[in-house]
Structure 1
């Protein structure tokens, strides 16, 4: 697996790729623009091309992540259009950087319509609108939710059905967040084999294109989205080992979104994960 972490683009896209490589990462994630804004960004195409070239030369896989305000289930007309424009802009940047896809959280409807399916309908409508205007190769990667503030996107069944109902499902994959899966109760840390078996039968696993590798500060089923360093939270190390040994995940980018002290990088945690889990995984295959 390609172990990496989230990297800042303060030194540009190519700078982010170099920073990932220097800390021993073989994958990385980045925000294409200001993570707190939906404003469309005019980006440096030469910088993006240099990022793509550097990654190809050094065997690095990258993924992009939409800004925090992105919500696929909004109903306000102005916010809806702003979100569509923003996600398309993010996809353009991700594609130019050579990233395999753009991670976006499963929608969370917080409006006043009482129809329990309305949020899902809005999400399908928005994703169809986005992909209807997007012609590049970068995929849209839907991430499972932890359940904090809203119960949408917490189950494998929801993730699979949303994709199946889209006009162009082949252009959508998944990003599996281990903390979110644990916090939502999708996975309790002792039952990965039956969870993986169900996910395989439903067609979920084969469309997972990236993993967010995070421990959880809170117990399973807490629905609290608080990441912990691997081995420092409530998810047992043996549970992570099972995830690493999943055949469908062997070549995927596996990105840490865990805390680290100010001024330091994820270099030590990347090395520890490789030593603790990847070596054991290779030995078992």
Structure 2
């Protein structure tokens, strides 16, 4: 199994890769730029190239995560242009670092009267972005953590958005275990049913990364609060077993976004390798 964690780029992209290697990880995630801003960052080509070279030599798989303000359902033209330019910048940096793609949260509901407004806007923003992108890495849509029935919490939505875009081959998926549990998509006991549904829809064929997080709250709570994997949340190790023994996920990177102040990521990765590696 490929276990890793989100790491800082404080020491650059090469520094992030070296930090992951020092934790005995085989995968890592990073923010391509300031996580609280949509500003465009000049690509440090030398640093990115060194990150890519180091990762290849050390068999490290990586993805980036778009900044927090990234929203695929912007409600103004100026905000939309800002999001598109920021995403193109994220893709350029991520590609230069040799990463699989940029994780982007599913859009938000902007009209209770017409839920299709949000989906149409998402498709438009993705088309505008990816129509200008010709690199190798992809946008990786992540499932939302809202209450059951809210936007972005079903596999059907994720698959349909991808299929309706002009260039679906440039889009993959990120499955967040805490989000799935919080939204009721996965209740901890029904992994086989979820796997069968996702396989039938073609979701798992496009899965590139798993955000491996426990949940501080019960299934269906709609609360996005991450907990450490072993003995710290509502998802039990036996329930995680069902997911981790799936042969088709063996080569997928599992990225921790768990509280490192409670269990340091290096220690948590060692625990995961001991149980599931």
Shorter-chain-normalised TM-score: which range?
over 0.9
Q: How does 1:156-195 map to 2 (within 5 A)?
A: 156-195=155-194
Aligned twin of 1:71:
71
**Displacement after TM superposition at 1:57 (Å):** 0.3
Query: Are 1:147 and 1:183, in contact at CA under 8 Å, matched by a contact in 2?
Result: yes
In 1: Cα distance, 2:256 partner to 2:198 partner: 22
Query: Any idea what SS the aligned residue of 2:131 has?
Result: helix
Aligned partner of 2:45 in structure 1 is 45
1:56 aligns with 56
Question: Any idea what SS the aligned residue of 2:29 has?
Answer: strand
Counterpart of 1:210? 209
- CA distance in 2 between counterparts of 1:196 and 1:98 reads 29
* Cα displacement (A) at 1:265: 4.0
Q: CA offset at residue 234 of structure 1?
A: 0.3
Q: Check whether the contact 2:148–2:185 (CA below 8 A) recurs between aligned residues.
A: no
CA drift at 1:166 = 0.7
Distance 1:199 1:69, change over 3 A: same
**How many pairs are equivalent?**
276
**What pairs up with 1:244-283 in 2 under 5 angstroms?**
244-261=244-261, 265-278=264-277
Contact 1:144 1:155 in 2 (8 A): yes
| Counterpart residue number, 1:30 | 30
Unaligned runs of 5+ in 2: none
What's the CA shift for 1:122? 0.3
Q: Secondary structure at the match of 2:16?
A: helix
1:220 aligned partner: 219
CA positional deviation for 1:43: 2.4
Distance in 2, Cα, partners of 1:246 & 1:163: 24
Shift of 1:114: 3.1
Deviations 1:87-114 (A, max 9, x none): 000000000000011100001133x573
| Residue of structure 2 equivalent to 1:229 | 228
Counterpart secondary structure, 1:219: coil
Partner deviation per Cα, 1:176-234 (whole Å, 9 max, x = no partner): 00000000000000110111011111111111000000000000000000000002100
Structure 1, gaps ≥5 residues long: 279-285
Aligned to 2:133: 134
1:146 aligns with 2:145: yes
Q: Would you say the 8 A contact 1:23–1:265 is kept in 2? A: no
Closer/same/farther in 2, CA of residues 22 and 138 from structure 1, 3 Å limit: same
Task: Tell me, yes or no, if the aligned pair for 1:74 and 1:109 is still in contact at 8 Å.
Answer: no
Greater mean deviation of Cα atoms: 237-246 or 203-212: 237-246
1:99 is matched with: 99
4+ long deviations beyond 3 Å: none
Match of 1:283 in 2: none
Give the C-alpha shift of residue 14 in structure 1. 0.1
RMSD value over aligned CA atoms? 1.5
TM-score normalised by the chain length of structure 2: 0.97
In the TM superposition, what whole-angstrom CA distance separates every residue of 1:47-73 from its partner, at most 9, and x where no partner exists?
Answer: 000000000000000000000000101
For residues 189 and 120 of structure 1, the distance between their equivalents in structure 2, rounded to whole angstroms, comes to 28
Q: Which residue of 2 aligns with 1:117?
A: 116
Whether contact under 8 Å (1:88, 1:130) holds in the other structure is yes
Counterparts of 2:138 and 2:78, CA distance in 1? 25
